[in-house]
Chains A and B, each alone.
Chain A
Amino acid sequence: MSKYVIAIDGSVNALRAVDHVIKLVAVDGQNGSLELHLVNVQPPFRRAVSTHISADQIKQYHQEEGMKELEEARKRLDRAGVKYDYHLFVGDPAEVLTRYAKDNGCHQIVMGTRGMGSVSNMLMGSVATKVIHLTDVPVLLVK
């Protein structure tokens, strides 16, 4: 049984990664041998905001935003009849993905990338680049 983490941020890039995994499962026949974990990471608010807003409200906001970003990926997997589990965290996306994969003994992290040039990549510091630096787990980038 292989465990895959799929990073979902609500972008079309992430959906390309989902489509790719659906294809992998189709080739495989069943996804009995593949355990899929969708992981969405919400950016935390700054201290100035969380000082004034209750923990409940902030949690609820993160949940609603996260579920929105997971929605289309879940729909596609449901439609394809692929089984999966989904998770929602708050923090730095690259750090959370890396930690999740490690803590849960995952075999691969699948991510969509923007496929941008090296200059903007350097400026923006893509999540994928950071994950590759941080993790020991194989990373599959889908462009």
Chain B
Amino acid sequence: MDFSSPQFWIALLQIVAIDIVLGGDNAVVIGLACRRLPDRQRRLGILYGMMGAIGLRVILIFFAVSLLAVPYLKLIGAALLIWIGIKLLLPEHDDGGHEIDGGTTLMSAIKTIIVADAVMSLDNVIAIAGAAGDSKFLVVFGLLLSIPIIMLGSQLVIKLMDRFPVVIVLGGALLGWIAGGMFVSDVAYHDQIEMAVPYAKWICPIVGALLVVTVGKWLAARATAKRAVLVDLAKADSENTPSH
């Protein structure tokens, strides 16, 4: 791929979209984890959290790029990407989140951030590597772009996604599309697939996108249906005893 080919520019746009959709949530987690800390600790926590998120992306991308060249590993990458896409379409947990700890100390905030940074950087990096293909330039571009998005963009990204929920669906579809492309381009069986199924290069991405959107929508609808009663949080102020 080079600057003159349309594929290059399409991949570039895909990477921008991926960074926006996946980087925003990372910043939100860092912000939430640090929210209850004293002012100075909070600012330090956010700064280190963001540096960790960016640093992990840099380290992981080199593993991702070289691992994806190993036969059959693109199969795993594609499966992971499908799951990342589906996850993107799911709403908040039924009970509002997981039950580990209150997270009001610096240590617990750091623990939360390290785990979140690791998981979310891996997601982001697999998607970038998938979209960038063999272009080193695009890999580096994807990495660099994720820095301002994590540092500055979270508020903006969240507003965007709240206002236009369709962005999320498109993001999920895009991840599925990239997964399909990754699946079909594995070195181990690439030629056979192309031979056996004409247009596999196009069919697989389309199937991937449809898979993510249908499964994601279905699971999301099930999650909302399960929320049978409305929980009034304003009432929780006075009636509920503190849960810890």
B29-A53 in contact (CB<8A): yes
Taking the nearest CB of chain B, how far is it from the CB of A127, in angstroms? 11
Q: Is the CB of A119 closer than 8 A to any CB of chain B?
A: no
Q: Is the CB of B115 closer than 8 A to any CB of chain A?
A: yes
Q: Is the CB of A138 closer than 8 A to any CB of chain B?
A: no
A54-B97 in contact (CB<8A): yes
Chain A interface residues toward B at CB < 8 A: 40, 42-59, 61-63, 66-67, 70, 86-92, 95-96, 99-100, 103, 123-124
A49-B230 in contact (CB<8A): no
Across the interface, which residues of A come within 8 angstroms of B199, CB to CB? none
B98-A47 in contact (CB<8A): no
Q: Provided the pairs A45-B28, A61-B32 are in contact, do residues A50 and B98 lie with their beta carbons within 8 angstroms?
A: yes
What residue of chain B has the Cβ atom nearest to residue A61's Cβ? B32
Across the interface, which residues of A come within 8 angstroms of B224, CB to CB? 91-92, 95
Q: Provided the pairs A53-B97, A90-B92 are in contact, do residues A43 and B29 lie with their beta carbons within 8 angstroms?
A: no
Taking the nearest CB of chain B, how far is it from the CB of A143, in angstroms? 20
Q: Provided the pairs A52-B115, A58-B96 are in contact, do residues A86 and B234 lie with their beta carbons within 8 angstroms?
A: yes
9 further contact pairs, Cβ within 8 A, besides A45-B97, A89-B230: A45-B92, A46-B90, A46-B168, A54-B102, A55-B97, A55-B98, A59-B96, A70-B234, A89-B233
Across the interface, which residues of B come within 8 angstroms of A43, CB to CB? 162
Q: Is the CB of B3 closer than 8 A to any CB of chain A?
A: no
A87-B235 in contact (CB<8A): yes
Complex: A100 Cα to B235 Cα, angstroms? 14
Contact of B227 among A57, A58, A91 (CB under 8 A): A91
Complex: A64 Cα to B201 Cα, angstroms? 49
What residue of chain B has the Cβ atom nearest to residue A99's Cβ? B230
Complex: A99 Cα to B230 Cα, angstroms? 8
B97-A50 in contact (CB<8A): yes
Across the interface, which residues of B come within 8 angstroms of A52, CB to CB? 29, 33, 98, 112, 115-116, 119
Q: Is the CB of B217 closer than 8 A to any CB of chain A?
A: no
Among the stretches B50-58, B126-134, B207-215, B236-244, the one at the interface with A is B236-244
B237-A48 in contact (CB<8A): no
Across the interface, which residues of B come within 8 angstroms of A51, CB to CB? 93, 97-98, 116, 119
Of the listed residues B22, B98, B224, the one surrounded by the most CB atoms of chain A closer than 10 A to its CB is B98
A89-B232 in contact (CB<8A): yes
Across the interface, which residues of A come within 8 angstroms of B98, CB to CB? 50-55
Taking the nearest CB of chain A, how far is it from the CB of B239, in angstroms? 13
Taking the nearest CB of chain A, how far is it from the CB of B97, in angstroms? 4
